[in-house]
Amino acid sequence: MKLHFAFPLLLALPLSSAISAEPKNSPQLSVLKSSAQSPHLTTRIQWNRFPRPVFKNEDLKDQNRNAIIRVYADTTGKVTKATVQESTGLEKLDEILLTAVRSATVKPYMDDDNALPVIGYQVFNLKVDQDNTEICDLTFDSKVWLAQQTDKKTAFRYRSQPQLELNSELLNKHDRTVKFSFKTNRHGHVKSVKITQGSGVYALDQQVKQTVSTAQVDVPRKFWIYKKSKLKDEIRFSSSSCH
């Protein structure tokens, strides 16, 4: 679906004649500035915590389903509103998607160091599992990321949760672990990602590697005394993570 955004056209009328008619000693009128922030419109939302809809074959009525959800988020990334732009055709399934989106967190859009509200769209492609196994999206719940959520001491901190574009079907009904290392520059950009222990599924390993390569982290200054930081982390994917 091709999305179009309509922007209002603001017209400013010349005030030169009115200003020239003002006496020189007339008091200056204070300029009022609107505090309202225009939202950032996007067709591809960046998430700090991705929506995780949980569904079964019976929810799909034995048919693959697609949907587009319109998302509204404030300057902190909190989802304030979610509506169905394109329905799955099933009201109950639409509600599952809306619930997942409302529980997620959007990465705020920054404009000159100012966070803006976000309005965007999230596409969902839901497929019937031929083995009738519950399928859900996998999230980047790495060892370091989970430690961050409980304020535990870590060698580094992710600035936001990296986004995996994977679902549990790729696990093939087995628990999987991916261990990796990487370096960063002084700006916290990840460089030279290396898989140190693979999961046994090449596509899973490569997706983790790609996701980590786009991450940004904060590293204590002590790591920069002699060389670039070399850091490590790992993710354990459970085959029962959907339950």
pTM equals 0.49
pLDDT above 60: residue 123: yes
Which amino acid, one-letter code, is at 11?
A: L
pLDDT (0 to 100) of residue 50 = 81
Cβ(232)–Cβ(196) below 8 Å: yes
For the segment 191-204, the average pLDDT, to the nearest whole number, is 92
Query: Which residue ranges does the chain devote to CATH 3.30.1150.10?
Result: 38-131
190: left (phi over 0), alpha (psi -120 to 50) or beta: beta
DSSP 155-215: S-EESS------BGGGGTTS-EEEEEEEEE-TT-BEEEEEEEE--S-HHHHHHHHHHHHT-
Written as six digits, the tokens of 191 are 């460089």
pLDDT above 60: residue 25: no
The overall average pLDDT reported for the chain is 81
pLDDT (0 to 100) of residue 31 = 45
Predicted confidence (pLDDT) per residue in 147-177, tens digit: 999 999 999 999 999 988 788 878 888 899 9
Query: What is the distance between the alpha carbons of residues 232 and 197, in angstroms, rounded to a whole number?
Result: 11
Query: What is the distance between the alpha carbons of residues 133 and 173, in angstroms, rounded to a whole number?
Result: 9
pLDDT band for position 227 (cuts 50, 70, 90): low
pLDDT (0 to 100) of residue 173 = 82
For the segment 219-235, the average pLDDT, to the nearest whole number, is 72
- Specify the range with the lowest mean pLDDT, choosing from 2-16, 26-40, 98-112, 206-220: 2-16
For the segment 131-141, the average pLDDT, to the nearest whole number, is 77
DSSP classification of residue 74: -
DSSP run (H or E) holding 96: helix 91-102
Query: What is the distance between the alpha carbons of residues 178 and 237, in angstroms, rounded to a whole number?
Result: 8
pLDDT above 50: residue 125: yes
Partner residues linked to 194 by β-bridges: 181
Q: Provide the percentage of residues in the chain whose pLDDT is more than 90.
A: 44
Question: Does domain 38-131 correspond to CATH entry 3.30.1150.10?
Answer: yes
pLDDT above 70: residue 142: yes
pLDDT above 50: residue 29: no
Query: Which residue ranges does the chain devote to CATH 3.30.2420.10?
Result: 138-243
Residue 43 makes CB contacts below 8 A (sequence gap 6+) with 3, 120, 121
Q: Which CATH number fits domain 138-243: 3.30.2420.10, 3.40.50.2300, 3.30.1360.20, 1.10.3720.10?
A: 3.30.2420.10
State the SS3 of 9-48. Answer: CCCCCCCHHHHHCCCCCCCCCCCCCCCCCCCEEECCCCEE
If one counts every other C-beta atom within 10 angstroms of the C-beta of residue 1, the result is 9
pLDDT (0 to 100) of residue 134 = 67
Predicted confidence (pLDDT) per residue in 50-101, tens digit: 888 888 888 999 899 999 999 999 999 999 999 999 999 999 999 999 999 9
pLDDT (0 to 100) of residue 9 = 35
Q: Provide the percentage of residues in the chain whose pLDDT is more than 70.
A: 78
Written as six digits, the tokens of 74 are 């404030």
Query: What is the distance between the alpha carbons of residues 111 and 152, in angstroms, rounded to a whole number?
Result: 31
For the segment 104-125, the average pLDDT, to the nearest whole number, is 89
